[in-house]
Amino acid sequence: MAQVSTALEVEVLSKTFPAVAKRSANRVLENIKLAIEPESFVVLTGPSGCGKSTLLNIIAGLDDDFDGEVRFQSLDARRAYIFQSPRLLPWRTIEENILLPLKDDDPRRAKVPAMLERVGLAEAADAYPERVSLGMQRRASLARGFILEPDILLMDEPFVSLDDPTAQDLRKLLIDLYKRRPTTILFVTHDRSEAVMLGTRILRLDGGSATIVQDEVVQLRSQDRSDPGKVRAERARIFADV
């Protein structure tokens, strides 16, 4: 597979889930062609069932049953995946969960204490997941994703089911982590305000056509992303016809 100048190029000509029992085959993606710039924050949005998570799984390499190709700038590009659920091992502490993807001799292990401090978990480092809140578990999941220093970070609705203040705090934390260590992010959400607040580019998928129907650059400065009024105005501009 040849190297490419962009961080990531995706071509999914078709992705179909086979027929099961009385349910007919379902084509969830069709004619997807993307070129994603390095260190961009790309948000995939659209209605439930339109193929957002499926596309993310294809890029992650978790699903290779599709017609097309995924090409990375570097053949050994590091990928990290933050799922909807924190996926922390209950028998390991918060710190041990963050350390989990790092080998014993990995120099990044030395950065974990600072990362725990940065995400507000220093005092909970020795706690087990069941002893902390869901919001704190999600903070640990963010820390584990960023401690890998990935070239591509895939995020599938990581703040779903949280109350609004907690979700907003985590969005601000994500922005801070992204500024400190820029990487290429692909972020799935159905929340349009969240998409506008976080993304530099928004891709909207449509379940009916199984393809991308809108590709929009977010016209917000960094300092405007914490301004609810400016986020609402930009959301109205981008999704005016939806």
Residue with the two structure tokens 């924190």: 86
* The pLDDT of residue 202: 97
Give the predicted TM-score (pTM) of the model. 0.92
* Nearest by Cα to 47 from 199, 197, 205, 218: 205
Q: Are 18 and 49 in contact (CB under 8 A)?
A: no
pLDDT means per 10 residues, the chain with 242 residues, are 70 89 82 94 92 93 94 89 94 97 95 96 97 96 96 95 93 94 95 95 89 94 90 94 76
* The pLDDT of residue 6: 75
* The pLDDT of residue 5: 62
* The pLDDT of residue 4: 53
Under DSSP, is residue 229 helix (H, G, I), strand (E, B) or coil? helix
Report domain extents, the chain: 88-149
Q: Are 7 and 39 in contact (CB under 8 A)?
A: yes
* The pLDDT of residue 52: 93
Four-residue CA torsion sign, 79, 82, 87, 92: positive
* The pLDDT of residue 216: 95
* The pLDDT of residue 1: 43
Q: Residue 152 CB: number of other CB atoms within 10 A? A: 22
